[in-house]
């Protein structure tokens, strides 16, 4: 299966990426079929340049853009990228406390507050 994905180029602190078409099993830095454009996230504003006709050509032939490339193309106004972007909800750890334990904690804290109020009153 063909993939349209980013391959990193540039220096350590100066990221830059090429938008390439390659077989999904090959490493991104290995031989690619075609370079479609580039993405420079370190510039202000960020630079995204690509050949839209070639991107649509490869998608028409069955190449699938990676999720990152699809989201970049969607922001740039290319239609039909929603089907390549998958929503991954954040996995939050559930609390182990049972709902029955929470009201007891509130009841225990309530008498402590009352005892604080009574203590100053009895001291006077």
Mean pLDDT (whole number) for 45-56: 92
User: pTM of the full predicted structure?
Assistant: 0.65
From 59, 60, 52, 24, select the one nearest 36 (Cα to Cα): 52
Q: How do residues 62-120 score in pLDDT, each as one tens digit?
A: 999 999 999 999 998 888 888 888 776 666 766 666 565 555 555 555 555 555 555 56
**What is the distance between the alpha carbons of residues 81 and 73, in angstroms, rounded to a whole number?**
7
User: Among 3-12, 13-22, 86-95, 99-108, whose mean pLDDT is lowest?
Assistant: 99-108
**What is the distance between the alpha carbons of residues 109 and 5, in angstroms, rounded to a whole number?**
56
Domains of the chain are 2-84 (3.30.1320.10)
């Amino acid at each position: 299966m063909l993939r349209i994905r980013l391959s990193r180029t540039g220096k350590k602190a100066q990221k830059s990426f090429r938008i390439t078409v390659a077989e999904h099993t090959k490493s991104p830095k290995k031989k690619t079929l075609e370079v479609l454009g580039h993405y420079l996230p370190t510039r202000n504003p960020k630079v995204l340049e690509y050949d839209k006709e070639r991107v649509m050509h490869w998608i028409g032939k069955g190449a699938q853009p990676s999720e990152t490339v699809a989201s970049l193309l969607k922001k740039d106004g290319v239609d039909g990228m929603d089907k390549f972007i998958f929503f991954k909800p954040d996995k939050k750890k559930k609390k182990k406390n049972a709902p029955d334990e929470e009201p007891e904690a509130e009841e225990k804290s309530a008498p402590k507050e009352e005892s604080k109020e009574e203590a100053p009153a009895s001291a006077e």
